[in-house]
Amino acid sequence: MAKRKLERYSDLSQLDNVIELEDYNPDTVSSNRGRWCERVFGNNNPLVLELACGKGDYSLGLAERYPDKNFIGVDIKGDRLWRGAVTARDQNLLNVRFLRIYIDYITNYFAPEEVDEIWITFPDPYLGTKKIRKRLTSPEFLDRYRQVLKSGAFVHLKTDSPELFAYTKEVIAEQNLQVLDLVEDVHGESHQVSDLDILTYYENMHLEDDRTIRYVRFKP
C-alpha cells in the first residue's frame, strides 16, 4: 500500500467522527445498532446514510444543508473516508460521521426502522454477470436496505453507468417498486429534484469525460 494511504489508515483511528469496522465476522452486531442518533449524535433527528460514499461528498453537502438531520457516510476504503472525516472536522460539521464497514453487513449495524433515507452515490457498476450480486441495487442489497429503513422511506441512486442504471430499473420493475423521481440526464435536462447539484469526486471525473449522469429515487 502507498505510504500516504497507510498514513491515512492509521490517522483514521484518531478521528472522533469515524467508526471503524468492528469485525469482518458477519455475526458481529454493532453496539450502536438501534441507538445511533441517541448515542453518537445526541439527538433524535432523522438518520440518512450515504452508501459507497468514498470521500463523503454527499454526506458533507447534505449535512451542511440539513443541520436537523444526521448523516453517516459508509464505505470500506479508509483512505477515502479519511478525506471526508477531515473535511467534516475542519468545517465543524457535527451532524456527520463516517462508518468503515462492508455495506453487505449493514443490518448488523442498523436496526429495523432506524434509517430514514439512503443515498447511493456512484457505486461500482460491477459489470459482468458473475459480479451482479455485488451491485448495490441488486435484490440482495435492496432486501438489506428494507430491513433498516423506515416504512415508506426512499433510496436515491446517482450513477454514471448506463448498465447499472438499466439494471436498477429492471429490478425496480420486477419488484414493482414505486419510483418517485427519474432523471435520465441530471446535468443536461431541466428537473425539479433537489440536491442533485452536489457533485462527488467521481462525478466530477465523469463530467470531465462527458459522461451522462442519471438519477432515480424509489421506495424499496
Footprint on this chain of ligand SAM (rule: CB under 6 A)? 52-55, 57, 75-77, 80, 102-104, 121-124, 200-203
Total Cβ atoms within 10 A of residue 34:
17
CB of 81 to ligand SAM, least distance (A): 9
Phi, psi (deg, nearest 5) at residue 74: -120, 130
- Which ranges constitute the DSSP H helices of the chain? 3-12, 57-65, 78-90, 106-109, 139-148, 162-174, 201-208
Shortest spacing between CB 176 and ligand SAM, in angstroms:
26
Say which of 11, 104, 124, 181 is annotated catalytic: 124
Output 144 or 190, the one with its CB closest to ligand SAM.
144
Q: Which is nearer to ligand SAM, 42 or 65 (CB)?
A: 65
For ligand SAM, the closer CB: 32 or 200: 200
Annotation marks residue 124 as catalytic: yes
Shortest Å, Cβ 111 to ligand SAM: 19
CB atoms within 10 A of CB 181: 15
Distance CA 45, CA 22 (A): 25
Q: Which is nearer to ligand SAM, 103 or 186 (CB)?
A: 103
> Cell triple for residue 54?
468514498
Query: Nearest-CB residue to ligand SAM?
Result: 54
Least distance to ligand SAM, CB of residue 106, Å: 9
**Residues across the chain:** 220
CB atoms closer than 10 angstroms to residue 117: 19
Catalytic positions, written as ranges: 124
